[in-house]
Amino acid sequence: MFGDYSLGDLGAIFAMQGFAGLILFSVYVLMALGLAIIFGQMGVINMAHGEFMILGAYMTYLCSGFFQAHLPGLFPAYFFVAMAMAFLASGALGMLVEWALIRHLYKRPLDTLLATWGLSLILQQAYRSIFGAREVGVELPSWMMGSIQATGTIEIPINGLFVMAITVLITLMVAGLLFASRYGKQVRAVMQNRVMAGAVGIDTGRVDRLTFGLGCGIAGVAGAAFTMIGSTGPTSGQLYIVDTFLIVVFGGAASLLGTIASAFSISQTQSTLEFFLSGSTAKVITLLAVVAILMLRPQGLFTLKVRR
Amino acid sequence: MAENDLGLESALRRRLLMGLAVVPAAACLPRLALAAAPPTAAVNTTGLAVTDTEVTVGILHSVTGTMAISETGAQQAEKLAIEEINATGGVLGRKIKVIQEDGASDWPTFAEKAKKLLVNDKCAAVMGCWTSASRKAVLPVFEQYNGMLYYPTFYEGLEQSKNVIYTGQEATQQILASLDWVAKEKDAKTFFFIGSDYIWPRTSNKIARKHVENVLKGKVVGEEYFPLGHTQFNSVINKIKLTKPNVIFTDVVGGSNVAFYKQLKAAGIDLSKQVLMTISVTEDEIDGIGGENIAGAYACMKYFQSLKNPNNEKFVAAFKKMWGEKTVIGDVTQAAYLGPYLWKLTVEKAGSFDVDKVAAASDGIEFKGAPEGYVRIHPNHHLWSKTRVGRALPNGQFEVVYESADLIEPNPFPKGYQ
């Protein structure tokens, strides 16, 4: 199939294809990070994860409108404010949901599945009532669109670079928070043994609420970032939820490193196959591979060594 | 009867020409029509919900769920048309009463609600459905209980029913003329097809491929399908860069569209240089995509909001007055607006609400007040209509760059294209 193309063309395409894989990897990590915290660390199956992401996207939409109307001079930089707002809004909603709903269900994990699925329907209809059933267009500052001309044929999309930068930043922050801070120790203690953690004086309720809020907040930031590459509508969150769970489960639920490894392998497989086969076939083969590996290794790629 | 028909029809035409400003003429119409209304027993022999003053019509679209994005415009247009018809005296002297049901983006729900509208509510006609899947789900219901459905979406064809009037274009009407145009104007020889993975894009692309290969003697250098809701198009964009087609031909639907055009732009593909032709993006979708991301792309449709004719200017003004200044009107919204009017004209020609008589009278019904211009119902229950090509502008509207000279005959079972 490559007979007709010059060597230079091929080189350029492979470079861009590699980059496409990296962008997909960043998108997957960003999608899955929040869920890895909530599902991995707390064991809550949060079916409303996509809707928390879309809340972040809608915050970006509101910010873009606000800056255009009132602070047009600062418009090129509004996206950073929007991401902060997205984090705060989704995080606050997450903490509210944890307080009102989730904390009553920690002992009944399967019920959280139903409850959060119901929550996702409620949120979707709320978005529909507030923002309308149609998708909204989020206007981005012009510097974020377009591409960098690296060589004559290689073009690198700026928003791809931006997503990668955000992903690296947030992953480092989460890792730092979970593995190097006092709060992270508490989170891990609560996860491993809730009763014992309570007995040594950790306020488990507070840790749970903050952790759930953190996970939702990160989902919000992801949603804000995805306004660059995807749609913002009441049901757009549904587009991400399956892939997100797939990555977290494949990586091994409780392991942050597993999530990253799984996002990397799935994204590279997907983007390479997509190039050689058609889109739908690529998806089918990727899913088949994941199913096969999970059959051989039900606990996922990485697991924590815990005493059962 | 015949005289009454003429009176109403010419009054309608006059009203459409003069616009809404002619209040006195419109105000005296209901009384005239009521005085002449034929007795219920004569116009309704099959037990439909028709009284001396009212006739019941159903609206069946998704107001909730994924499809609400698309179907909102259609049901808004239908309500506008019905309100206008009521303001000018209704149908056979009877006001239209609307019963609206929500299909909730779920095909079995569509079938269930269709049955409710026909069996419980005895609707004389139903305006509804958007996706082919929902239409396929309700079709047996309409055929079993002998209802009348006015279906607004452009679709893949390969269907024809006594109980359905298709007010959108079938695939050959929409695609062939525009492919001819792009081959001639842009000297296009090579095409790359990208679609969402379900029946409509696959059938449409099949028709397009046959036309490109057999008639235009061009070449299809790639054909790709992605699952509904797919959001990552970087790989296929690289493939496009590698194969360098003259034309990218797309029928991607829903939220995927937004991702596709944003990523296309981010990858440095400039739509003012690369010809892209879509059959799935209307003004509605551009709302979400963002005009600046798709500016320069070509769409082939039968209707664009920017069409310049008195019917359309009046329609756009009335639509915005009823549903808000910011709303946009896409192809399907306009096709949905035709449904109630076509039904009214057919009922008046048949002189009866009976479904059998309406179905039989449909052939040859003309509607001169259509925003897209003159339309006529073909014996196969599709519409004769023009095809147009529009170029997307940064403000989210289309500039019409081509219009077929004549009405194009609907051909839902195209020979040599299957």
With an 8 Å Cβ cutoff, is A270 touching chain B?
A: yes
B234 → closest Cβ in A9, A23, A135:
A23
Residue B1: pLDDT band with limits 50, 70, 90: very low
Tell whether A94 is covered by a domain.
Answer: yes
With an 8 Å Cβ cutoff, is B66 touching chain A?
A: yes
With an 8 Å Cβ cutoff, is A238 touching chain B?
A: yes
Q: Do A279 and B226 touch (CB under 8 A)?
A: yes
- What average pLDDT does the structure give for chain B? 88
Tell whether A291 is covered by a domain.
Answer: no
Q: Do A146 and B288 touch (CB under 8 A)?
A: no
Give the pLDDT confidence score for residue A4 in this predicted structure.
59
pLDDT exceeds cutoff 90 at B259: no
Give the pLDDT confidence score for residue B11 in this predicted structure.
47
User: Which residues of chain B are within 8 Å of residue A226 when distances are taken between CB atoms?
Assistant: 231
Give the pLDDT confidence score for residue B36 in this predicted structure.
61
User: Which residues of chain B are within 8 Å of residue A238 when distances are taken between CB atoms?
Assistant: 66, 229
Give the pLDDT confidence score for residue B398 in this predicted structure.
96
pLDDT exceeds cutoff 90 at B141: yes
Give the pLDDT confidence score for residue B122 in this predicted structure.
95
With an 8 Å Cβ cutoff, is A303 touching chain B?
A: no
Q: Do A270 and B232 touch (CB under 8 A)?
A: yes
User: Which residues of chain A are within 8 Å of residue B72 when distances are taken between CB atoms?
Assistant: 132-134
pLDDT exceeds cutoff 70 at B4: no
What domains can you pick out in chain B, each with its CATH number? Answer: 2-168+307-385 (3.40.50.2300), 171-301+389-403 (3.40.50.2300)
Residue B413: pLDDT band with limits 50, 70, 90: very high
With an 8 Å Cβ cutoff, is A32 touching chain B?
A: no
Tell whether A130 is covered by a domain.
Answer: yes
Average confidence (pLDDT) over B95-103: 95
Q: Specify the pTM.
A: 0.82
Tell whether A20 is covered by a domain.
Answer: no
pLDDT exceeds cutoff 90 at B104: no
pLDDT exceeds cutoff 70 at B43: yes
DSSP H helical segments within B252-309, as ranges?
255-266, 283-289, 291-294
Tell whether A298 is covered by a domain.
Answer: no
The alpha carbon of residue B6 is apart from the nearest alpha carbon of chain A, in Å, by: 41
Give the pLDDT confidence score for residue A269 in this predicted structure.
86
Give the pLDDT confidence score for residue B314 in this predicted structure.
95
Strands B219-226, B190-196: pairing is parallel
Give the pLDDT confidence score for residue B52 in this predicted structure.
92
Q: Which domain holds residue A115?
A: 25-134+156-237
Give the pLDDT confidence score for residue A305 in this predicted structure.
57
Task: List pLDDT tens digits, range B264-277.
Answer: 988 888 899 999 99
**In chain A, which stretches have pLDDT less than 50?**
308
Give the 3-state DSSP-derived string for B181-227, with helices as H, strands as E and coil as C.
Answer: HHHHHCCCCEEEEEEECCHHHHHHHHHHHHHHHHHCCCEEEEEEEEC
Residue B81: pLDDT band with limits 50, 70, 90: very high
With an 8 Å Cβ cutoff, is B225 touching chain A?
A: yes
Give the 3-state DSSP-derived string for chain A, with helices as H, strands as E and coil as C.
Answer: CCCCCCHHHHHHHHHHHHHHHHHHHHHHHHHHHHHHHHHHHHCCCCCCHHHHHHHHHHHHHHHHHHHHHHCHHHHHHHHHHHHHHHHHHHHHHHHHHHHHCHHHHCCCHHHHHHHHHHHHHHHHHHHHHHHCCCCECCCCCHHHCCEEECCCCCEEEHHHHHHHHHHHHHHHHHHHHHHHCHHHHHHHHHHHCHHHHHHCCCCHHHHHHHHHHHHHHHHHHHHHHHCCCCCECCCCCHHHHHHHHHHHHHHCCCCHHHHHHHHHHHHHHHHHHHHHCCHHHHHHHHHHHHHHHHHHCCCCCCCCCCCC
Q: Side chain identity at B151, as an amino acid letter?
A: Y
User: Which residues of chain A are within 8 Å of residue B197 when distances are taken between CB atoms?
Assistant: 279-280
Give the 3-state DSSP-derived string for B70-132, with helices as H, strands as E and coil as C.
Answer: HHHHHHHHHHHHHHHHHHCCCECCEEEEEEEEECCCCHHHHHHHHHHHHHHCCCCEEEECCCH
Q: Do A280 and B292 touch (CB under 8 A)?
A: no
With an 8 Å Cβ cutoff, is A90 touching chain B?
A: no
| Residue B403 three-state SS | strand
Task: List pLDDT tens digits, range B174-190.
Answer: 999 889 999 999 999 99
Could you give the percent of chain B with pLDDT greater than 70? 91
The alpha carbon of residue A98 is apart from the nearest alpha carbon of chain B, in Å, by: 26
User: Which residues of chain B are within 8 Å of residue A9 when distances are taken between CB atoms?
Assistant: 242
Tell whether A32 is covered by a domain.
Answer: yes
User: Which residues of chain A are within 8 Å of residue B226 when distances are taken between CB atoms?
Assistant: 279-280, 283
Q: Which of residues 134-163 of A touch B (CB under 8 A)?
A: 134-139, 145-147, 149, 153, 155, 157-160
With an 8 Å Cβ cutoff, is B104 touching chain A?
A: no
- Is A72 exposed, middle or buried (CB count within 10 Å of its CB: 0-12, 13-18, 19+)? exposed
Task: List pLDDT tens digits, range B341-363.
Answer: 999 999 999 999 999 999 999 99
With an 8 Å Cβ cutoff, is A279 touching chain B?
A: yes
CB of B389 within 8 A of CB of B181? yes
Chains A, B: CB contacts under 8 A, how many? 143
pLDDT exceeds cutoff 60 at B7: no
Give the pLDDT confidence score for residue B367 in this predicted structure.
95
| Residue B323 three-state SS | helix
pLDDT exceeds cutoff 50 at B33: no
Q: Do B288 and A137 touch (CB under 8 A)?
A: yes
Give the pLDDT confidence score for residue B190 in this predicted structure.
94
What span, in angstroms and rounded, lies between the C-alpha atoms of A55 and B160?
43
The alpha carbon of residue A137 is apart from the nearest alpha carbon of chain B, in Å, by: 4
Handedness of CA B32, B36, B39, B44 (dihedral sign): negative
- Report how many domains make up chain A: 1
User: Which residues of chain B are within 8 Å of residue A139 when distances are taken between CB atoms?
Assistant: 290, 292
What span, in angstroms and rounded, lies between the C-alpha atoms of B370 and B411?
21
Give the pLDDT confidence score for residue B22 in this predicted structure.
43
Give the pLDDT confidence score for residue A5 in this predicted structure.
64
Tell whether A14 is covered by a domain.
Answer: no
Give the pLDDT confidence score for residue B307 in this predicted structure.
95
Task: Return the minimum-mean-pLDDT range out of A161-170, B148-157, B228-237.
Answer: B228-237
Tell whether A29 is covered by a domain.
Answer: yes
Q: Do A228 and B230 touch (CB under 8 A)?
A: no
User: Which residues of chain A are within 8 Å of residue B289 when distances are taken between CB atoms?
Assistant: 137, 231
pLDDT exceeds cutoff 70 at B305: yes
CA B372 to chain centre: 11
Average confidence (pLDDT) over B209-227: 92
Q: Which of residues 259-288 of B touch A (CB under 8 A)?
A: 259, 262-263, 265-268, 284-288
What span, in angstroms and rounded, lies between the C-alpha atoms of A69 and A49?
31
User: Which residues of chain A are within 8 Å of residue B287 when distances are taken between CB atoms?
Assistant: 134-137
